[in-house]
Amino acid sequence: MDHLDALEAQSIYILREAFARLKKLALLWSLGKDSNVMIWLARKAFFGRVPFPALHVDTGKKFPEMYAFRDIYAKEWDLDLRVDPCPPIDSVDPTLPPAARSAARKTEGLKLALAKYGFDGLIAGIRRDEEATRAKERVFSPRGVEGGWDVRDQPAEFWDQFNASPPPGAHLRIHPILHWTEADIWAYTKREGIPIIPLYLSQNGKRYRSLGDQDITFPVNSNAASIDEILLELETTKVPERAGRALDHETEDAFERLRVAGYL
């Protein structure tokens, strides 16, 4: 069993545990490389079908290529796609810096969708290597009734025994690819032939490492025009993956504040 097989097997185990132990699950689909791998893994785990809805909490500010991708693959992958809009910017905490405030709309959109559908589990494609507070996540991460993450009181989680009993009104975030790295995602995408959004590949010396909303995501300098070239670039680059994400850089704790409040 090689490295990618081991990652895949662990993710499938987590997805099946979530499906077995929670009543109302949804998978958060942000259309990016990580959540596409996650949907692929779900199809592997459940032998070709995704037995829960794919939820796209839509800020309305994604790139056109992302919307096109969603429409094609929701159909081709036979997903039960739910698209839910985010509330307008003036309903979001005005003390947040601009990019973080813009991103926080997604948290609010998530809360509305949770209330609307009554999900007790949300499967999300975050990875430990992306960002320092994500590195501290559990695989099954309890969220409070308000969607908040209490980082000081995370339950013990060991030997692949997950805590899957959220109190009434609260929910769990399930992180099946927490143990993957950015390079793992690309190597697996290539091996499995998972479709990607072309924005990840270099055009005119620039490409997106991470895809968020148009207004708060920026391309990085790169000549990597294929997955192989991306993998080579990742071998040597010291530029962090979220360098093009404005909200990470506004204040020291902007991201942590967002995550504690329920952001992914």
Partner 1 sequence: MTIAVPPASLAADAVRPLVRIVIVGHVDHGKSTLVGRLLHETGSLPEGKLEMLKAVSARRGMPFEWSFLLDALQTERDQGITIDTTQIRFRTPSRDVVLIDAPGHAEFLRNMITGASQADGAVLIIDALEGVRDQTRRHGYLLQLLGIKQVAVVVNKMDRVEFSAARFGDISNEITAHLTSLGITPTAVIPISAREGDGVAARTDNIAWYDGPTVVEAIDKLTPAQPLDALPLRLAVQAIYKFDDRRIVAGRIESGHLRAGDDIVIMPAGKIAKIKTVEGWPVTPLAGAFGAGRSVGITLDRELFVERGDVIGHAGNAPRDTRRLRARIFWLHDQPLTAGVSVLVRLGTRETRANVVAIEKAVDPGDLASEAATEIKRNHVGEIDLSLSQPVAADPADNNPRTGRLVIEINGRIAGGGLVLSVDSGQRAATADIVPVESALLPGERAARYRHNGAVLWFTGLPGSGKTTIARALERRLFDRGGSPILLDGDTLRAGLNSDLGFSPADRAENIRRLGEIAAHLAANGHIAIVAAVSPGLADRAAARRIAGDRFREIHVATSAEVCEQRDPKGHYAKARSGGLPNFTGIGNDYQPPTASELVLDTAGLSVGEAVAQVETMLAQTDVLIEDPADLAAHI
Site residues (CB under 8 A) for partner 1, limited to 184-203 = 184, 187, 190-191
Q: Answer yes or no whether residue 206 interacts with partner 1 by CB under 8 A.
A: no
Q: How far is the CB of 90 from partner 1 (least distance, A)?
A: 27
Pairing of strands 171-174, 140-143: antiparallel
Q: How far is the CB of 135 from partner 1 (least distance, A)?
A: 4
Q: With CB under 8 A as the contact rule, which of the stretches 52-60, 72-80, 106-114, 147-155 interacts with partner 1?
A: 147-155
Q: Which is nearer to partner 1, 111 or 134 (CB)?
A: 134
Burial class (CB in 10 A: 0-12, 13-18, 19+), 43: middle
Residue among 54, 53, 45 at smallest CA distance from 17: 45
Cα dihedral 246, 56, 62, 112 sign: negative
Q: Which is nearer to partner 1, 91 or 165 (CB)?
A: 165
- Tell me the C-alpha distance between 62 and 214, whole Å: 6
Residue labelled with tokens 């670039």: 233
Burial class (CB in 10 A: 0-12, 13-18, 19+), 2: exposed
Q: Answer yes or no whether residue 116 interacts with partner 1 by CB under 8 A.
A: no
- Tell me the C-alpha distance between 234 and 137, whole Å: 24
Q: Which of 181, 201, 214, 218 binds partner 1 (CB under 8 A)?
A: 181
- Show the binding pattern over residues 44-83: x = contacts partner 1 (CB under 8 A), - = does not: xxxxxx-x--------------------------------
Burial class (CB in 10 A: 0-12, 13-18, 19+), 168: exposed
Note whether 171 and 120 are within 8 A (CB): yes
Q: How far is the CB of 63 from partner 1 (least distance, A)?
A: 22
Q: Which is nearer to partner 1, 146 or 192 (CB)?
A: 192
Q: How far is the CB of 85 from partner 1 (least distance, A)?
A: 29
Q: Residue 206: enclosing H or E segment and its boundaries?
A: strand 206-207
Q: How far is the CB of 27 from partner 1 (least distance, A)?
A: 16
Q: How far is the CB of 65 from partner 1 (least distance, A)?
A: 24
Q: Which of 199, 248, 263, 264 binds partner 1 (CB under 8 A)?
A: 248
**Can you state the percent helix, strand and coil of the chain, rounding each to 5?**
45, 15, 40
Q: With CB under 8 A as the contact rule, which of the stretches 16-24, 60-68, 76-84, 105-113 interacts with partner 1?
A: 16-24
User: In 52-93, where do the E strands start and end?
Assistant: 54-58, 81-85
Q: Answer yes or no whether residue 136 interacts with partner 1 by CB under 8 A.
A: yes
Q: Contact positions toward partner 1, by CB under 8 A?
A: 1-6, 8-10, 12-13, 16-17, 19-20, 43-49, 51, 128-133, 135-136, 138, 151-152, 154-159, 161, 163-167, 179, 181-184, 187, 190-191, 231, 234-243, 248, 252-253, 255-256
